[in-house]
Amino acid sequence: MKIWVRHAWCVAAVPLVMSCARREPVTLTVDFTTRDSWVYEFNVSVGGKVAMRDSTAACAHAIHGRLTGIPDTADPSALTVTTGDVVLESSMLDEDEKENMRRLLDNFTISFSLRNGLNDMSDSLKTPLMPAGQWDLYRHFAKMLPVLPEGRVRPGYTWERHAQVPLPTSHGDAVGHLYQSFRFDSLTGRAPDHGRYAHLSWQFSYAIETGHTDTAGLLDEIPHTGSGAGSATVDVDAKSLREAAVEFTIPQDSKSDVFSIEWNEKAWIKIVE
Amino acid sequence: MAGTSCPAIVENRHFPGGKAFPRLIYILLLCSFSLFAGEPSWVIERDTTLTASIEIREDGVCTVKPGVTIRFDGYQRVTIKGVFIAEGTRDKPIWFTCAGRIRGSTDKPCWQGFEIVGNRANAIFRHCRWEGAFRNLIWEARPVFDSCEFVGNHYALYCTKKSAAHIKNCIIYRNRYGIVADFASPLALDNCITENSVGIYLQLSSRLIAGRNTVANNKTDIKSEEAMGGTKDALSSKYLWDLMRQLY
């Protein structure tokens, strides 16, 4: 009996040892050219409330869908994805507006690179972002996707990134500043050189810099800064992005005497094998 | 501004349509956003069905000849950043609609509409008719709409970002919204705006530079949102939320 118990412990301990945190340096690389196409499932939800004098309105949007991506041979870390199978829920839009968004998002293309960030925002900017609730996936993806570091790095390594996002609004042009501070948290895996996963996390802030065209001054009245946290898992050996998630919050702000706004955003993508 | 002197709306008054309309259609398989790369001029002389969205770039010129019907097959749009000239005549108007839509229908929108974007865009529309678009957007531009008709659209004309569209002698009816001004000041003169859910919608900091328009028999003739107002027309939470959506 004792022998059997010891044997069982040994058998159980082998995978535990193999899957525990690892410390060797690795290259955090994604190579999308290893497949002809990639499929991810994604979800974005934004909720919050707008309080005005004696009333408060709850606001909520949610979108769920599929991303089908094609690699870019010039940049193996880049993927051009097209949205599909979009399901949209919104408490703020009428049926025609929802249908419009659904149809727009059912075939929307985004290009991003895990080396350089979002590649090309022209898709986003070619159509002004309208107050009919146009859903700009670019900004959600900019917050949600990590940018990977150069060279070989060990768990504990940190790096930063600053990106600027042009924001053409109906009240004038603004710029969004995204500051992300990444950390390589841990490396796990069941066997050497096979199935090792790098777990990343990051803190970030997103701040709005307004222009001078808004003579109504409304852009100055709404909240200008929010912060959040994200995480992602990279398959080091398969060189693929497994999943990523982010949460972003703008706490209830009272810059204006008349209204205050709270904003809570959650987004994630997961690979579909 | 308001009155009750709109002309009687008769669907086949000026514009040809239905089975009697010529069926000469050729399909343009155009890739979005590449139409005028290296080919800055395009003249549309015959009825056309567009199966993809098109963009007139800043150095592009597109002219639509009188009497032409442009139908949109799918949820397409026309983005104008250059020059677009669609000058029909009373006898030969120009028609923008989607494939299979019955003339005068108030069914759901079936194409995206026009987007006239930027202060370098220069568009002139005379004796044109829009049907079934979700939104004809004027973003920072100053197009001219003269003697045009808008029917069965969600937003017949949505003017924003300080656009100053000139809208004159037009008939705007049976749309969800007739003219929307969102941080814009369109010039509207001698128009008839009737039978819409909302005739004129003035959002924050917008005003209609207007005279002698007839705005009557809409569910709501004029709706306005004033900044920081305390009445039922006050700045809405939806407006603030939508502005947040443009930023975050």
Q: Which of A170, A248, A255 best tests the B interface by mutation, with the highest count of B CBs <10 A? A: A170
Is residue A82 pLDDT above 50, yes or no? yes
Beta strands in B19-148 (DSSP E): 26-28, 41-44, 48-50, 54-56, 61-64, 69-72, 77-80, 83-87, 94-98, 113-117, 122-126, 128-131, 135-139, 144-146
Is the pLDDT confidence value at B208 over 80? Answer: no
Contact B238 A128 (CB under 8 A): no
Tell me the CA end-to-end span of chain B in Å, nearest whole number: 38
Interface test with B, best of A49, A107, A121, A130 (most B CBs within 10 A): A130
Average pLDDT over residues A148-152: 93
Confirm whether B235 is domain-assigned.
yes
Classify residue B2: in a domain, yes or no.
no
Q: Does residue B206 form part of some domain?
A: yes
Average the pLDDT over B149-158 and give the result: 97
DSSP state, residue B226: B
Give the residue numbers spanning the domain of B207.
Answer: 18-247
Between CA A52 and CA B74 the distance in angstroms is 40
Locate B143 and state its tokens.
């197009």
Contact list, A258 vs chain B (CB under 8 Å)? 228, 235
Share of chain A above pLDDT 90, in %: 40
Q: How far apart are the first and last CA of chain A?
A: 43
Of A29-38, A42-51, A130-139, the least confident: A130-139
Position B5 in a domain: no
| Alpha-carbon distances of B229 from A253, B180, B185, rounded to whole Å | 19, 19, 20
pLDDT at B61 exceeding the cut of 80: yes
Tell me the nearest-neighbour CA distance from B137 into chain A, angstroms.
Answer: 9
In the prediction, which pLDDT does A9 show? 54
CA nearest to B167, candidates B155, B177, B179, B175: B179
* Res A94: pLDDT: 84
Coil vs helix vs strand at B186? coil
Whether B231 has a pLDDT exceeding 50, the answer reads no
CA A249 to chain centre: 14
Q: How many whole angstroms from its chain centre is CA A94?
A: 27
pLDDT surpasses 80 at B84: yes
Domain ranges of chain A: 22-271
pLDDT of B127 strictly over 90? yes
**Residue B13 predicted with pLDDT over 70:** no
CA A110 to CA A93: how far, in whole Å?
Answer: 24
What is the predicted pLDDT for the residue at A122? 44
One-letter amino acid for residue B151 of the chain: V
pLDDT at A194 over 70: no
Q: What is the pLDDT averaged over residues B192-198?
A: 97
pLDDT, one tens digit per residue, over A89-139 is 988 888 888 888 888 887 778 888 888 776 555 444 444 444 334 456 778
CA distance B174 to B156: 9
CB contact, 8 Å: A103 with chain B?
yes
- Residues 6 or more apart whose CB falls under 8 angstroms from that of A194 comprise A237
pLDDT mean over B53-80: 94
Establish, for the pair of chains A and B, how many residue pairs have beta carbons separated by less than 8 Å.
134
Residue A71 β-bridge partners: A79
At B238, the pLDDT band (50, 70, 90 cuts) reads confident
Q: Chain B closest CA to A158's CA: distance in Å?
A: 26
Residue B40 has pLDDT above 90, yes or no: no
pLDDT attached to residue B165: 95
Cα torsion through B2, A171, B112, B62, rounded to 10? 90
Tokens in use for A205? 């802030």
- Using the structure block, give the residue that is written with the tokens 């066997």: A191
Contact B237 A50 (CB under 8 A): yes
Contact A53 B162 (CB under 8 A): no
A250 interaction partners in chain B (CB closer than 8 Å): 248
- Please give the structure tokens belonging to residue A200: 């990343």
Low-confidence winner among A79-88, A129-138, A224-233, B189-198 (lowest mean pLDDT): A129-138
Whether the pLDDT of residue A232 is over 90: the answer is: yes
Q: Classify residue B7: in a domain, yes or no.
A: no
Across the interface, whether the CB atoms of A216 and B137 are under 8 A apart is answered: no
Q: Work out the burial of residue B20: count CB atoms within 10 Å of its CB; fewer than 13 is exposed, 13-18 middle, 19 or more buried.
A: exposed
The more confident residue out of B94 and B202 is B94
- How confident is the model over A236-261, as pLDDT tens digits? 999 999 999 999 999 886 667 778 88
pLDDT beyond 80 at B230: no
pLDDT at B37 over 50: no
**In-domain check, residue B36:** yes
Mean pLDDT of B156-162: 92
Residue B65: the pLDDT is 97
Residue A212 CB partners (closer than 8 Å, separation 6+) = A172
Amino acid at A4: W
As a whole number of angstroms, the distance between CA B136 and CA B118 comes to 14
Number of domains in chain B: 1
Prediction ipTM score? 0.80
Starting at the edge strand found earlier in the chain, the sheet holding A109-113 runs A117-120, A109-113, A75-90, A55-72, A38-52, A259-271, A240-253, A225-235, A197-210, A172-188, A158-169
On the question of pLDDT at B38 being above 50, the answer is no
pLDDT at A18 over 70: no
B180, part of any domain: yes
The helix or strand, by DSSP H or E, that contains position A231, with its residue range, turns out to be strand A225-235
Residue A191, pLDDT score: 61
A136 touches chain B (CB under 8 A): yes
B10 assigned to some structural domain: no
Q: Tell which residue, B146, B149, B144, B143, has the closest CA to residue B131.
A: B149
